[in-house]
Amino acid sequence: MTYPLFTKHEDTLQKALAAIETRGYWSPFTEMPSPKVYGETANTDGEAAFKSHLNRTFELDQPATTETVGAEVSPFGFPLGIRYPKADVNALIAASTRAQRDWRAAGPKAWVGVSLEILSRVNRASFEIGYAVMHTTGQAFMMAFQAGGPHAQDRALEAVVYAWDQLRRIPADAHWEKPQGKNPPLAMRKRYTVVPRGTGLVLGCCTFPTWNGYPGLFADLATGNTVIVKPHPGAILPLAITVRIAREVLREAGFDPNVATLLATDPNDGALVQDLAQRPEIRLIDFTGSSQNGTWLERNAHQAQVFTEKAGVNQIVIDSVDDIKSAARNIAFSLALYSGQMCTAPQNIYVPRDGIRTSEGPLSFDAVAGAIAGAVQKLVADPARAVELLGAIQNEGVTQRIDEARTLGRVLAESQTLEHPAFAGARVRTPLLLQLDAATDGAQFTREWFGPISFVIATDSTAQSLELAGEIAAGHGALTLSVYSIDDAVLEAAHEASIRGGVALSINLTGGVFVNQSAAFSDFHGTGANPAANAALADAAFVANRFRVIQSRVHVEPKAVPA
Tell me which residues touch a second copy (CB under 8 A). Answer: 20-25, 104, 165-166, 169, 171, 174-180, 186, 188, 190, 192-193, 195, 197, 298-299, 302, 495, 498-499, 502-513, 519, 522-524, 527-529, 536, 539-541, 544-545, 548-555
Task: Report, in Å, the least distance between residue 56 CB and a second copy.
Answer: 40
Task: Report, in Å, the least distance between residue 191 CB and a second copy.
Answer: 8
Task: Report, in Å, the least distance between residue 501 CB and a second copy.
Answer: 9
Tell me which H or E stretch contains 191: strand 183-196
DSSP-H helix ranges across 177-257: 214-222, 237-252
Phi, psi of 167 (to 5 degrees): -60, -40
DSSP assignments along 354-394, one per residue: T-EEETTEEE-HHHHHHHHHHHHHHHTSSHHHHHHHH---S
Judge contact between 239 and 204, C-beta under 8 A: yes
Q: Which is nearer to a second copy, 182 or 302 (CB)?
A: 302
Q: How far apart are the first and last CA of the chain?
A: 39
Task: Report, in Å, the least distance between residue 34 CB and a second copy.
Answer: 11
HSE-CB of 185 using CA atoms within 13 angstroms: 15
State the SS3 of 526-543. Answer: CCCCECCECCCECCHHHH
Task: Report, in Å, the least distance between residue 183 CB and a second copy.
Answer: 8
Task: Report, in Å, the least distance between residue 345 CB and a second copy.
Answer: 17
Judge contact between 59 and 245, C-beta under 8 A: no
Q: Which is nearer to a second copy, 382 or 492 (CB)?
A: 492
Which amino acid is present at 376? V
Q: Which is nearer to a second copy, 377 or 545 (CB)?
A: 545
Q: Which is nearer to a second copy, 194 or 373 (CB)?
A: 194
Task: Report, in Å, the least distance between residue 532 CB and a second copy.
Answer: 12
Q: Which is nearer to a second copy, 439 or 499 (CB)?
A: 499
Q: Which is nearer to a second copy, 324 or 418 (CB)?
A: 324
* Residue 135, Ramachandran bin (φ over 0: left; ψ between -120 and 50: alpha; else beta): alpha
Residues composing the chain: 563
Quote the CA–CA distance of 222 and 211 in Å, as a whole number: 17
Q: Which is nearer to a second copy, 439 or 507 (CB)?
A: 507
3-state secondary structure of 226: strand
Task: Report, in Å, the least distance between residue 509 CB and a second copy.
Answer: 7
Burial-class residue 519 by CB neighbours within 10 Å (0-12, 13-18, 19+). middle
Judge contact between 135 and 80, C-beta under 8 A: yes
Q: Which is nearer to a second copy, 165 or 366 (CB)?
A: 165
Task: Report, in Å, the least distance between residue 458 CB and a second copy.
Answer: 26
Q: Which is nearer to a second copy, 385 or 548 (CB)?
A: 548
Instruction: Please tell me whether the peptide bond between 538 and the residue prior to it is cis, using omega within 30 degrees of 0.
Output: yes
